[in-house]
Chains A and B, each alone.
Chain A
């Protein structure tokens, strides 16, 4: 009996992890119907009718640009003639950082390495035209349609002379070969990055993925992302699971948590992260998802990293941070140097402190340098060496409330230190 429980748990984990970790494609893109139709139509026109096109898919990170494209390609490739004819070239701005590398990659993905051989071309354009010519079918009547998919499209705009973009878009404008150039980018201002001659060859067709999901739709998404599919082997278990998930959606505490997440970030990627963290608490001994799992997951994903780091500082380092906070309050955010901080610290030691020992200057410098290493303070001009280290101007990378909250959570904080932090004039 227990081995079947293990097996069941394995399958649940596999299905859900594929969804959350591997970004498995949904059956249909949710909430993006019109954009999906638009993209599909465009790609179909290139694949079936031989029209050349270019389009940019623009949306913030995690909005579903790649997902949308892959769904469209999946549907299109169901048509036999498309599957046999169309070639795809996938480029990424992160990988192909140079037009030369990009061209080699295009050659490789079109399987034309042998055809090109050792040929030397005069220009990029010549090379590209040669490749496209080589794709012509036997009767030389028409070329096979090619999809050029450029992820991180904005990074290609930083290449020298934007040669790749110019040539690809040029081909898409002229009637040489049926080509679809699809760019995916997170930058709304991507057109500003393009040179005039490149911009003029672009069709100015953009598909925007700006999410306008309401909270109800977000709740539905939560439910459907956690739902087990109908073809789950143990149908009784899957029904129970799905019922449990629906009940969770009705619970007030869970709704509050989801509202908080919805208010800060509505996209599916952050939802998947939250659900994955909740999923890690599901195991054989704890086979269903509970509200407390969602609560814990939410707490973990919204923890303040800097507060966590402040928790582990020594008392001397904490005192230095409080001294810097006071300097920021008095001088309204002007940069400070070590001497000033040490001065404030010494004032505290002499007047108010009984618990903090009067440490020697080199010991205090070492603590200060530890804070510098943790990047809690940063030099103003990037660390010019000509200034003595005690006089180098720095800024504190924490604000008033972060310091005060960290102080509340600090383990066994001496009371005089706390009072010094709260007092207005140091």
Chain B
């Protein structure tokens, strides 16, 4: 029976109880609003919609992501519950008031024999629409005087939804996350034995479970890497029982997957292709690598100078960048709080002239202050490698901040003359040793 099938899907007894009360006797009233929350991919939409479909209960399933305006939500609801004619009765740019009026009008002609359900997925987006929409939907049963129940599905807890002056509190229901054991038992592959597949999933979970528990991600990774796992079996290098050899084959591959596919640095297609040309064990160029845009020669130095300006306090400039600076007392060199703060708090703003001063001392050749240098600074701002701080009307003393990380700077500095990197190591040798 459909009820039994759904019971198997549900994770715990409590959820079962409450949901079964939904389908128990739909001719009767249901609680006006129900809020179901739980992590992604715990089956919230799937279970509810399957339940409603199997039991053939009148419902409207609307995803709030698709509803840019409230009018789309109203239209889709009326369409699903009453048909296209009722949706056409809505005026252009309908408000909640119009929706309630049309609903009452239509439902007077088609009184409810069973509870009508309105299921709203990604309900957290309702908070960003008109302020009266969420409180209105929560008490829709009262406003339209009909046997209707609104079910809200979300990842975010109810405490973050509550409006300032309160509202009708919905019934809260939690969909628990899958346990590790449950995940192991969920899938299987037709061409191999379940034991082999579950040992594969075990290995996969061993690598990924402590990082990510989203079932969708894990399934995606499992699907992508299964062919690589079965490679030794196909080639005849190992038997099914030889788990150690299979593990040795797949584990480094999965670790690489964590650095690339998991982070969406490469697409699944690229990943699949790379598995096929196994001869070239070249490192896959991810998206971040591509961010090291080919910059002009002086732009690289400007960026390095900007990083130094952002992360070194201005007092120490003399020490680093002036050729014959004389001695500076060690005690006044580094203030204690500055050691930790600079790299934890982020870049500090610096004025343009300081940037240019550092730039001229960092660049090896003689550079004339032409307009091209200044225009390169503007380009760096457009590329969002530098951020402009302060008002646009401060034309004479613009301030900037460096918006790139140390890894980026080190990657760039490898491209320029080797002796320049000594400035960086000099600077950072002190700061990184905290």
Q: Which of B164-172, B270-278, B299-307, B414-422 contacts A (4 or more CB under 8 A)?
A: B164-172
Instruction: State which of A21, A62, A314 has its C-beta within 8 Å of the C-beta of B211.
Output: A314
Question: Is the pair B169, A21 in contact by a Cβ cutoff of 8 Å?
Answer: no
Question: Is the pair B156, A21 in contact by a Cβ cutoff of 8 Å?
Answer: no
* A–B pairs, 25, beta carbons within 8 Å: A13-B28, A14-B28, A21-B32, A23-B142, A61-B168, A92-B143, A94-B132, A95-B96, A95-B97, A97-B95, A97-B97, A101-B95, A273-B31, A273-B171, A277-B171, A296-B17, A308-B37, A308-B157, A308-B176, A314-B210, A314-B212, A337-B345, A337-B346, A343-B344, A374-B155
Interface size range of chain B in the complex: 35 or more
CA–CA, A96 to B346, complex, Å? Answer: 48
Question: Is the pair B25, A357 in contact by a Cβ cutoff of 8 Å?
Answer: no
Write out the residue numbers on chain A whose beta carbons fall within 8 Å of the beta carbon of B259: 360, 362-363
**B179: interface (CB < 8 Å):** yes
CA–CA, A99 to B406, complex, Å? Answer: 58
**A229: interface (CB < 8 Å):** no
Interface size range of chain A in the complex: 35 or more
Nearest-CB distance from B12 to chain A (Å)? 11
Write out the residue numbers on chain B whose beta carbons fall within 8 Å of the beta carbon of A175: none
CA–CA, A125 to B95, complex, Å? Answer: 24
CA–CA, A315 to B209, complex, Å? Answer: 8
**Smallest CB-CB separation from B389: which chain A residue?**
A386
Question: Is the pair A411, B179 in contact by a Cβ cutoff of 8 Å?
Answer: yes
CA–CA, A13 to B160, complex, Å? Answer: 33
**B339: interface (CB < 8 Å):** no
**Smallest CB-CB separation from B387: which chain A residue?**
A386
CA–CA, A62 to B101, complex, Å? Answer: 25
Write out the residue numbers on chain A whose beta carbons fall within 8 Å of the beta carbon of B28: 10, 13-14, 17-18, 21
Question: Is the pair A305, B345 in contact by a Cβ cutoff of 8 Å?
Answer: no
Write out the residue numbers on chain B whose beta carbons fall within 8 Å of the beta carbon of A97: 95-97, 130, 132
Nearest-CB distance from B149 to chain A (Å)? 8
- Interface positions, chain A 270-311, Cβ under 8 Å from B, are 270, 273, 276-277, 279-281, 283, 296, 300-301, 303, 305-306, 308-309, 311
Residues of A that sit less than 8 Å from B by CB: 10, 13-14, 17-18, 20-23, 60-62, 66, 92-97, 101, 105, 108, 154-155, 186-187, 269-270, 273, 276-277, 279-281, 283, 296, 300-301, 303, 305-306, 308-309, 311-316, 337, 339-340, 343, 356-357, 359-360, 362-363, 366-367, 373-375, 386-388, 390-391, 411-412
**Smallest CB-CB separation from A367: which chain B residue?**
B211
Question: Is the pair A18, B29 in contact by a Cβ cutoff of 8 Å?
Answer: yes
Residues of B that sit less than 8 Å from A by CB: 14, 17-18, 20-21, 24-25, 27-32, 37-39, 42, 95-97, 100-101, 130, 132, 135-136, 139, 141-143, 147, 155-160, 165-169, 171-172, 174, 176-177, 179-180, 209-213, 258-259, 262-263, 265, 288, 343-347, 387, 389, 403, 405
Write out the residue numbers on chain A whose beta carbons fall within 8 Å of the beta carbon of B141: 21-22
Question: Is the pair A337, B344 in contact by a Cβ cutoff of 8 Å?
Answer: yes
Question: Is the pair B177, A311 in contact by a Cβ cutoff of 8 Å?
Answer: yes
Write out the residue numbers on chain A whose beta carbons fall within 8 Å of the beta carbon of B17: 280-281, 296
CA–CA, A367 to B27, complex, Å? Answer: 45
Question: Is the pair A303, B29 in contact by a Cβ cutoff of 8 Å?
Answer: no
Question: Is the pair A186, B166 in contact by a Cβ cutoff of 8 Å?
Answer: yes
Instruction: State which of B29, B165, B180 has its C-beta within 8 Å of the C-beta of A154.
Output: B165
Nearest-CB distance from B216 to chain A (Å)? 13
Instruction: State which of B159, B211, B387 has its C-beta within 8 Å of the C-beta of A363.
Output: B211
**Extra 20 A-B pairs, beta carbons < 8 Å, given A273-B31, A308-B38:** A21-B32, A61-B167, A155-B132, A283-B24, A296-B14, A303-B174, A305-B159, A305-B172, A312-B177, A313-B213, A314-B210, A315-B210, A339-B344, A340-B344, A359-B211, A362-B288, A366-B263, A367-B211, A374-B156, A391-B345
